[in-house]
Structure 1
């Protein structure tokens, strides 16, 4: 089936990142990260903190996004880590996957785009698609890595939730199901109006979305494991 994959596309790649995340800038970002965390621990609102700290260091919008996505309070960090499941104990399990969240992060990793590792240990991208999505030349590889890795862990079932209002969610569903035929994992791709609302009530969740992480019963840090296994040259920025 022809899904009009882009010939070559770099998801979440920005040439200016060499400047925004240079060694010199990283020193400032890591210092700011600690300051933001300190203020969050004292119940200041994130938006107010970002305006204050971002202005003080004169950070770019992209740098501010990195800090915003990669910083949480100590309380949230401990709470999230307490719900993290062992990646090596997935035999015969059913996983509930935040489809766009996982696939886009892997596409960004394959594109050499910047990925942020926050103090909660989760990887987050800076792609900022905001309701628009198009399959690219990295999409199949990302999906194959998901199946390949989960099959190696003997996962039995995966439920992949996609937000139906996002453009091309139907095409992505078709492609996932086509590629799933090569693997033994039972695969369900479910289009829903809002994946967050569904996933936050489940266990064995795969996502890096903070809202879901704080509400779901348990989660697996799958993107980090897949990237470490198959995309070792990914551009990971550690804030702490």
Structure 2
């Protein structure tokens, strides 16, 4: 029996209480306040602490509002650089591998996802130096590949964080899926893929806010996939 069949990126056991009902209303208010502070130049860490303390949020809720909020200037700049899938034909893509795959794994497994102010979909998972492949991993990669194949990019180059344990195994799985389907894919391990993504002229596929602020063009692929394939996903609207 494949051990991955019993390993999933499921919701946290406390999430039903943390992200529904009155808790959700508090989070939406907290995101509004956090964006207000960001608009006025407050530092990220101190702003999240101020709002989190005011609303008595636990660590996981503070993580959520921090990922969902951004200043108006950041939101507008990111959206101005976002390209449509119809525009990627013949274009080279550079994929933030862990960022995209983990979000799709979470969607398939029914974990909490966040609709954020900049229209990105973000998860609440954290790698913490080690990545564990789950039962949804190959399904997520295949779905990404089939979707991209419809829009015919010139090439697809996946980047993975070399310091993260098991990143090599994931890169190998991406290569195997690509070869199996005759997709023009590369998968590479880098010590700092974020830097490579930010510096590249290729269209970046990511929802990492720091990368979005640095790149010239990016593709909001996770949002497209959620809209088309996961209408019943646990999507918390913090936009």
Q: Distance in 1 between matches of 2:12 and 2:46?
A: 26
State the 1:159 CA deviation: 0.3
2:199 matched to which residue of 1? 201
Count of residue pairs brought into register by the alignment: 238
The aligned residue for residue 215 of structure 2 is 216
Structure 2 unpaired stretches of 5+: none
Structure 2 Cα separation of the partners of residues 63 and 96 of structure 1? 31
Work out the CA distance in 2 between the residues paired with 1:50 and 1:165: 28
Q: After the TM superposition, which residues 1-240 of structure 1 pair with which residues of structure 2 at under 5 Å, given as runs?
A: 5-11=3-9, 13-202=11-200, 203-240=202-239
- The unaligned stretches of length 5 or more in structure 1 are none
205-214 vs 228-237, greater mean Cα deviation? 228-237
- Once residues 173 and 55 of structure 1 are traced to their aligned partners in structure 2, the CA distance between those partners, rounded to angstroms, is 40
Bigger share in helix: 2
Q: Is the 8 A contact 1:105 1:223 kept in 2?
A: yes
RMSD value, Cα:
1.4
Contact 1:151–1:184 under 8 Å retained in 2: no
Q: Normalising by structure 2, what TM-score?
A: 0.95
Question: What is the CA distance between 1:230 and its match in structure 2?
Answer: 2.0
Distance 1:102 1:5 in 2: 23
SS class of match (1:190)? strand
CA distance in 1, matches of 2:119, 2:227: 13
* Aligned 8 A contact 1:132 1:167 in 2: yes
C-alpha offsets along residues 53-99 of structure 1, whole Å, 9 cap, x if unaligned?
11111111111100001100001001111110012222122110000
Q: Secondary structure at the match of 1:189?
A: strand
With over 3 angstroms needed to count, the CA separation of the structure-2 counterparts of 1:60 and 1:121, relative to structure 1, is same
Give CA deviations for 1:187-214 in whole Å, capped at 9, x if unaligned.
0101111110100012300011111111
Contact 1:106 1:142 in 2 (8 A): yes
Deviation at residue 5 of structure 1 after TM alignment: 5.0
- TM-score normalised according to structure 1 size: 0.95
SS at match of 1:113: coil
